[in-house]
Structure 1
Amino acid sequence: MAAVSSRLPAFPWDKLEPYKATAAAHADGIVDLSVGTPVDPVPAVIRQALVEAADSPGYPTVWGTPALRDALTGWIARRLGAVDAGHRNVLPVVGSKELVAWLPTQLGLGAGDKVAYPRLAYPTYEVGARLAGAEPVVYDDPTELDPAGLKLLWLNSPSNPTGRVLPKDDLVRIVAWAREHGVLVFSDECYLELGWEAEPVSVLHPDVCGGTYEGVVAVHSLSKRSNLAGYRAAFVAGDEAVLGELLQIRKHGGMMTPAPVQAATVAALGDDAHVGEQRARYAARRAALRTALETHGFRIEHSEASLYLWATRDEPCWDTVAHLAELGILVAPGDFYGEAGERFVRVAFTATDERVEAAVKRLG
């Protein structure tokens, strides 16, 4: 058997281990700002829903309960401005990373097909293309790509790692171009509720998609907005023909969101209060870290949304990683996200208030 892993790039986070050890040796302990994993409690309303659904001895359905589908369609209408979306326009998935990694395979892509994603991007877009045997292609502006053989176009706004938000006019232009050339658009919008200096817009908004979901699908996650990374709660919404095909494939593959998690998702999407509270926590941490980094000599670019600061000292990113590790602060090197990030680091503000305060003092 050929090793499928041979198609894939080296797992980047393994390279960070020596710097993590250096940071952990700091007298006051490590401040880990590398992986953007939530650290705050799961809101009580969500935990209660999970507990109440814990007695779930039967198999859940891949499409989710009617209550879940109602919650998904209701949320995309209320929060994204989507119009006339029904149950066939939504599909729960087992965390957004699973969806990103296996989407090209589930779409039947392979040799001769191209999957495009931003030049600076979440590494799993490339991984998904390589798992399927398709060709990964990076872009600065997707409308400048050769559409021949291009089957799947990933958008990511707000961006991971840069926090950049695509303006609505750009989204309109890109969607129109993709439709003209028969290219399927998947828009990763997992940070959409975390806009700071810009208001992110979904591809499902009628101003962008023209009131029809043909050829467009949005990807959303509850990991960041509701502290549910451990629940693996996410969903896709948009083109019913695409989602119908994915539903059939995922039924055969048994890719089911656990029933208690489905119930927790309903509760999470029905409660906006906890999202506002979490945004306030992140806003305070973001402001403190940004000021401290700039005082320390960093320049922050983009970063108008998401959970990260895209920072540079105009030096190779690994030199910056090493410098901060000596201060007990661990960050992600920018080249994890593409060669264009080789002089940047990604700084997450998902640490606790106490750890953020420690980082601010060390940078002072």
Structure 2
Amino acid sequence: MGFHTFQTSYDWGRLDECKAIARQVEGGMIDLSVGSPVDPVPESVRKALAEAADAPNAHGYPATIGTPALRTAISDWFLNCRGIDLRPLGAGVVPTVGSKEAVALMASLLHLGEGDVVVQPRISYPTYEIGTQLAGAGVLKVDDVSDVESWRHVPGVRAIWVNSPCNPTGEVLSAARLTSIVAAARQIGAVVLSDECYALMSWCSDASPSALSANVCAGSADGILALYSLSKQSNMAGYRTAFIAGDRRIIDEMSVYRKQIGQIISGPVQAAMVAALRDTTAVFEQRKRYQQRLARLVRALSEYGYDVRMPSGALYVWVHALSGGCWQDIEDLAKLGIIVSPGEFYGAPDFLRISSTATDEAIDVAAERLC
């Protein structure tokens, strides 16, 4: 049958006219729209990549499931950075070519299709919906996924997307709310798909709760898949490095399909992933950078007139448009040389998303223009 058609308003080309305006401003354009990292890749990662450039895992075919070193590093990362021991949970792991392909292929790899329903937050990352549409399944958007009564009795629900910390809102779900989602999903035989790509970018605590936390999952990974990415924590978006952890049965089956379609991370990049997962010093230095940039943006946006506060997590400031519509605000900010994301892309056309993934110098210039 192949991929089904999809519909999306997620088209960054729609910002081109405003970018042209912003480029005419003295000092040039400050792009706070796409959340693409700008800081250096950690030295430990670059060294590991270079050393593995001609290793056996480079000139030979790498394993889809990851090298033993990578699988161990993922398990150690969960234990050391999130306080989760995957072994007693019965969890498996598999690396993915970035988190976006994992999200986009998830419904298809779960064999969902016509008559099946995937629940997702109404305001969310667009690829959740696109991936569901590609599989030919139905999308159910709800205001609050932790309000389990909004989806538990809907016929055909097979999977539930959770995103904490959330892109774009920054919301962090408590362990209690995650627990209710996992329990309700298990009652109806659905899979919890927990996008935790910003887990270490939590500004209310050291790390946000995981769907795989022992107190959330009742000591079992059954029916849970958690996704994580190194793109933001280690500035490795171009390396395409991420992984899925959770229900071993589901992951083992997915891995078979992933092998057949060539969704495999190159050997040298797997070595770089190991270094990134073990270099927690670099991760927390990057975390501090983002926290300071966010705080600077929040202060400047507040002085400009926005009703804004520090997000609980993730890398974005999420604010209601002053004009009532995102596109008018985007045009007004473009006249200051600043480009931001339209909330329409994420399901809220009256909001803006402002990214902290810009250099300190760019953030300072943007703040000066806003003040």
**Shorter-chain TM-score above 0.5:** yes
Identity %: 46
Residues 86-116 of structure 1, C-alpha deviation per residue, up to 9 Å, x if partnerless? 8961110000000000111111111111111
Q: Which amino acid aligns with 1:227?
A: N
In structure 2, the partner of 1:248 is 256
Question: Deviation string for 1:152-206 (max 9, x for gaps)?
Answer: 1100000000000011110111111111111100100000100113441111110
Out of 293-302 and 281-290, give the one that drifted further: 293-302
Secondary structure, counterpart of 2:287 in structure 1: helix
Q: Residue 167 of structure 2 aligns with which residue?
A: 160
Separation in 1, partners of 2:364, 2:195: 31
Whole-angstrom CA distance in 2 between matches of 1:242 and 1:268: 26
Which residue of the partner structure matches residue 80 of structure 1?
82
- In structure 2, give the amino acid aligned to 1:173: S
Asked if 1:102 is matched to 2:105, the reply is yes
Matches of 1:236 and 1:52, distance apart in 2:
26
1:93 paired residue number: 96
CA distance in 2 between partners of 1:77 and 1:323 (Å): 46
* Aligned-partner Cα distance in 1 for 2:139–2:188: 18
> Any conservation in 1 of the 2:33–2:355 contact (CA below 8 Å)?
yes
Which residue does the alignment assign to 2:335? 326
Contact 2:91–2:221 (Cα < 8 Å) also in 1: no
Aligned to 1:185: 192
Aligned partner letter, 1:309: V
Aligned-residue offset at 1:81: 2.2
Code of the residue aligned with 1:362 in structure 2: it is: R
Is 1:176 the counterpart of 2:173? The answer is: no
The 5 Å alignment of 1:163-242 reads 163-198=170-205, 199-242=207-250
Aligned to 1:19: 18
- Segments of structure 2 that go 5 or more residues without pairing to the other structure are none
What is the aligned counterpart of 1:270 among 278, 287, 311? Answer: 278
Deviations 1:223-271 (A, max 9, x none): 0000000000000101101101101111111111011110000001111
8 A Cα contact 1:115 1:153, kept in partner: yes
Instruction: State the match for 2:363 in structure 1.
Output: 356
Cα distance change of structure 1 residues 67 and 185 upon mapping to structure 2, 3 Å threshold? same
- Equivalent-residue separation in structure 1 for 2:14 and 2:38 (angstroms): 23
Deviations 1:102-146 (A, max 9, x none): 111111111111111101000000000111111111112331213
Amino acid at match of 1:33: L
Instruction: State the distance in 1 between where 2:193 and 2:127 align.
Output: 14
Corresponding residue pairs, total:
361
Letter in 2 for 1:270: R
Unmatched segments (≥5 aa) in structure 1: none
Residues 295 and 13 (structure 1 numbering): CA distance in 2 closer, same or farther, change over 3 Å? Answer: same
Query: 2:83 is matched by which residue type in structure 1?
Result: G
Counterpart among 278, 282, 290 of residue 290 in structure 2: 282
Which residue identity does 1:287 align to in structure 2? A
Residue pair 2:4, 2:133 contacting (<8 A) in 1 also: no
- Is the 8 Å Cα contact of residues 120 and 337 (structure 1) preserved in structure 2? yes
TM-score under structure 2 length normalisation: 0.94
**Displacement, 1:302?**
6.9
Contact 1:104 1:128 in 2 (8 A): yes
Corresponding letter in the other structure for 2:332: H
Tell me, in whole angstroms, the C-alpha distance in 1 between the residues paired with 2:244 and 2:121.
20
C-alpha deviations, 1:24-53, integer Å up to 9, x for none?
221111100000110000010000000001
Q: Could you say what secondary structure the match of 1:112 adopts?
A: coil
Using the TM superposition, give the Cα deviation of residue 84 of structure 1 relative to its aligned residue in structure 2, in angstroms. 4.2
**2:9 and 2:345 in contact (8 A); partners too:** no
Name the Cα RMSD after superposition: 1.6
The one-letter code of the counterpart of 2:342 is: P
CA distance 1:302–1:105, change in 2 (3 Å): farther
Which one-letter code corresponds to 2:345 in the other structure? F
